[in-house]
Structure 1
Amino acid sequence: MSTTIPVGADPFDLAVSPDGARVLVANFSDETVSVIDTASLAVTATFAVTDRPRQVAFSPDGSTAYVLVGDVAAAIDVVDVTTNTLVTTIPGVGFLPTDLTVTADGRTAWVASFGAGSLSRIDLTTRTVVGSFRLGGRGLTAAVVNPDGSTVYALDSDGTLAFFDTATNLVTRNVAVPGSGPIALTPDSSTLYVSGFDGSDITLVDTATGTTTDTVALTGAPDRVRFSRDGGTAYAAVIGNDNIGRVVAIDTATRRVVDTTTVGQDPAGVGVTPDGALLFVANSSDATVSVIRLPLAPVFTAATPPTIATVGQAYSFTFTATGNPPPTFTVTSGTLPAGLTLTAGGVLSGTPTAAGASTFTVTATNGVAPATTTPPVTVTVAPVIVPAPDRLPAPLITSPADGQTVTGPVTYRGTGTPGAYIALVSFEGDTPPQSSGPIEDAFAAADPIQVAADSTWSRTIAITPGDYTTFAVEFRRDADGTVTLENTSPASEFVSYSVVAATVPVGAAPTAPAEAAPSAGRTPATSSATNLALTGSETSGLVGLGALLVGAGVALTVASRRRRSTAPSTSATTSIN
């Protein structure tokens, strides 16, 4: 897939920034440079230079661009890339310039000139020309410097490839080649690719021995060549014998063409982004730049799914990987947890159905070697954890109030959970109930107090005068009518109060609460003078009451908050339903 970007007239060359974020295009006839943003694939700026630009190169940090300008007298325009402004111009760098090459450390530039066959050395720190060397021949057409800056390889139009030693400023070797076009050096500095711009093929030269080692056959005239970062592929702009522009991909191991893509007319400059994803080709006669998305092996960008899942709970994770074409994902070893599936798009999802650990690997493939596989991934599915049911909240007694003196009968009021029942337990003296009888009676009552929809409850009871303490517990009944600890609430706050008798008309008898019917297996205790149902020292059901009261947050040693002014009477307890 390719994209075409319009630029200025006669784009002769281009350069990709070291970070791959932008491309600078030298528009020869417009005397401008276009800036292409590689993310949006659009021209974001165009700035003027001092003369016709031929080549462009970046400093190693990408902050500065060096533009070789001039049709006759050559100069280098130094440009601040962050602002796209001209900083200075280095004059006198050559005559009839043909090529620009910069050392890997960014300290030195070399300019090849056709006029007089000279090679100029420019100090980029001081931004001055520090040497010019005539290599003979008819005129230089191309040059490239090796990464450490020790050798410049310069090609003459007569087919002589010179090895120029930058320490001695001498030519150490001349190699005859059939080409006269641009030259390129492999990333490992082992091989030169010499383009036969006059219509011949690409000739390969071993830099160690100075011998030609192979030829890449093409059907057209090759121009500039650039390499992928790993050196595995060379990309050459070619003007076909049919006058159709193409870019060819050459496998540098087999030295054969492995792919061909049609581009614009008269392709010249070529550049590859550092990640190997995009190839840019300057089409000099079309005033365009072609952008080709290159085949790219997949590389995982997200490959660590959550390691914990739960039976019955939805699970989802998306594996992602770069690559062109977009990769597909498959499980290549092990098995997924039951209930989960992996789509070709990398989505691992589903609802686990069984507890246990599953280990598997996922591979991303797109037809470009090598495929990539995750390390073993283990997902452990935990069983469903059923939370303990929430207990009912403690109810509240709002009447009588703590410390209040009430004239009987007593109306008990409060708030609670709508629909729940209320068990009221009252006792005299200092000792709370020592038997489960009163609260069991309340749980079993035929007509228990029930909390209304507005969260209130009330019940009026005739009480024998005396000092009392009362607490309340909410409860619900199971389908069979039983009450369990899980269906009860903590106890309410204790309320202590006094009950006095109402004025009784002459001849009337006072009323007293009916004694609660004993629970099965319990013996009724002897009544005291207060006419309350007493628990006395009976211990039947004591463990059950203890469990309920402790579960409700009640300590069996809690005493009433108020005492009668006279000596304590026999302890008595009643349940109020």
Structure 2
Amino acid sequence: MKTSIALAALLLGACSAAEADPADGDAANGGYAEQVIEVPDFADFLLVDGATVWATNKGRIEQWSTMGKVTSVAVPRPCGTMAMAAESLWVGNCDGGELYRVNPRTGEVLEKIPAGIGPSGEQNVVAGAGSVWAPNQAKGTISRIDPETNTIIASIPVAAGTTYLAYGFDALWAASGEGGTMQRIDPQTNTVTDTIELGKTPGFLVAGEGMVWIQEQGDGTLARIDPETRTVVGRTKVGDNLKWGDIDTGDGKVFLRTTDDQTFVVIDAASAEVIARVGRAEGSGALRYTPEGIWTSAHDVHSLTWWTAASN
């Protein structure tokens, strides 16, 4: 298959960060080197699969490595974060509302489960507690899907406009940008146990590094919620806003994809302080952490980027 890759060889072969001109190269990228991969159309949400990454795109999802495109699977309108569970990839389709189950090894579509996904383009599908979870925006519920039967086994009423989900600390966390809240759902009872008031336009969230971290997109802040007390324990000011973007955690850090000012921000999870601002502003896109490096997408400039720290 035909692929086009810009390997950014000057960056990969450049001198160390200590020797670099701080105006460019690794030093200007917060100690990260970048490998840019050209991706036609609209690469957006990401899911790590070993040494590769899956990306939603226009009318399809695609699997990429640093060497190029691996495969492509037709999905009419993939529209949000994907999940890996039960040896399958799960992705929402906003043109029809189904949850697609895909074999990630063969690219075969195994099942299309009516789940009411959509119509907005930011519908988080996540996995946890032996289930796959997806928002039903029209009904104001979250669907819990059993991978053994490919059926919805629970529909949980939540705040209107809830589309952002994350699983961690033995609970599902669900945010509504419209309602300005995040709710905790107990998978043992399939009920909302807590509703947490947040700032302007909460968005993408992640449960990791001891906290639940969530964008307050309208305020330009990242809020952190203690999963034990279910209260906001602090905020980190990142920029004028945090519209769109993405978030992930790992290695004692929070990685926040931004739309303005830079590609992503690195936050120390212990101190909640910004410790690096990496790359140039590329418009909106997604981000996923791996121990080997960071994947980002930038649909406005039609690219994926593989970032590696100087120490790697």
TM-score range, shorter chain: 0.7 to 0.9
- For the structure 1 residues 154 and 121, does the alpha-carbon distance in structure 2 shift closer, same or farther, using more than 3 Å as the test? same
- Residue 117 in structure 1 maps to residue 140 in structure 2: yes
Report the Cα distance in structure 1 between the residues aligned to 2:296 and 2:141, rounded to whole angstroms. Answer: 29
Contact residue 277 and residue 295 of structure 1 kept, 8 A: no
Measured after TM superposition, the shift of residue 158 of structure 1 is 1.6
Q: How far 1:176 sits from its partner (Å)? A: 0.6
Residue 37 (structure 1) shift: 1.8
Q: Residue in 1 aligned with 2:55?
A: 25
Structure 2 segments unaligned to the other structure (5+ residues):
1-32
> Residues of 2 paired with 1:24 and 1:199: CA distance?
30
1:562 aligned partner: none
Task: Note the C-alpha offset of 1:208.
Answer: 0.7
Alignment of 1:533-544 (within 5 A): none
Aligned counterparts, 1:409-448, within 5 A: none
Equivalent position amino acid for 1:26 in 2: T
Alignment counterpart, residue 2 of structure 1, candidates 12, 19, 34 = 34
Contact 1:94/1:118, CA 8 A, preserved across alignment: no
- Structure possessing the higher radius of gyration over alpha carbons: 1
Query: Aligned-pair distance for 1:46?
Result: 2.2
Which whole-Å CA distance do the structure 2 matches of 1:114 and 1:88 have between them? 21
Q: Is the 8 A contact 1:4 1:290 kept in 2?
A: yes
Say if 1:80 and 1:86, in contact at 8 Å, map to a contact too. yes
Looking at structure 2, the residues matched to 170 and 2 of structure 1 have their Cα atoms a distance apart, in angstroms, of: 43
Runs of 4+ in 1 over 4 A off after TM superposition: none
- State which of 182, 191, 200 in structure 1 corresponds to 2:204: 182
Q: Structure 1 residues 265, 115: closer, same or farther in 2, change over 3 A?
A: farther
1:245 deviates by 4.4
1:171 and 1:145 map into 2 onto residues whose CA distance is 14
Partner of 1:195: 215
Matches of 1:117 and 1:180 in 2, distance apart? 17
2:236 corresponding residue in structure 1: 216
User: Aligned partners of 1:295 and 1:272: how far apart in 2?
Assistant: 16
Shift of 1:13: 0.5
C-alpha distance in structure 1 between counterparts of 2:297 and 2:136, whole Å: 22
Q: Distance in 2 between matches of 1:215 and 1:147?
A: 20
Q: For structure 1, which runs of at least 5 residues remain unmatched after alignment?
A: 297-323, 325-577
Partner of 1:407: none
How far off is 1:264 after superposition? Answer: 5.8
Change (3 A) 1:15 1:128: same
1:108 aligns with 2:123: no
Amino acid at match of 2:126: T
Give the structure-2-normalised TM-score.
0.81
| Letter of the 2:237 counterpart | A
Distance 1:118 1:295 in 2: 44
- What aligned pairs does 1:154-553 form with structure 2 within 5 A after superposition? 154-156=174-176, 157-178=178-199, 179-187=201-209, 190-222=210-242, 223-228=245-250, 230=251, 232-240=252-260, 244-263=261-280, 265-273=282-290, 276-296=291-311, 324=312
Which residue number in structure 1 is paired with residue 100 of structure 2? 77
CA contact (8 A) 1:26 1:32 kept: yes
Provide the rounded CA distance (Å) in 2 between the counterparts of 1:279 and 1:224: 12
1:65 paired residue number = 89
CA RMSD of aligned residues (A): 2.1
Q: Which residue of 2 aligns with 1:34?
A: 62
Q: Secondary structure at the match of 1:35?
A: strand
TM-aligned CA distance change 1:246 to 1:220, over 3 Å: farther
Specify the alignment match of 2:28 in structure 1. none
Classify the secondary structure of the residue corresponding to 1:115.
coil
Q: Percent identity?
A: 19
1:67: how far off? Answer: 1.3
Distance in 2 (CA, whole Å) between partners of 1:33 and 1:67 is: 9
Q: Which moved more, 1:172-181 or 1:51-60?
A: 51-60
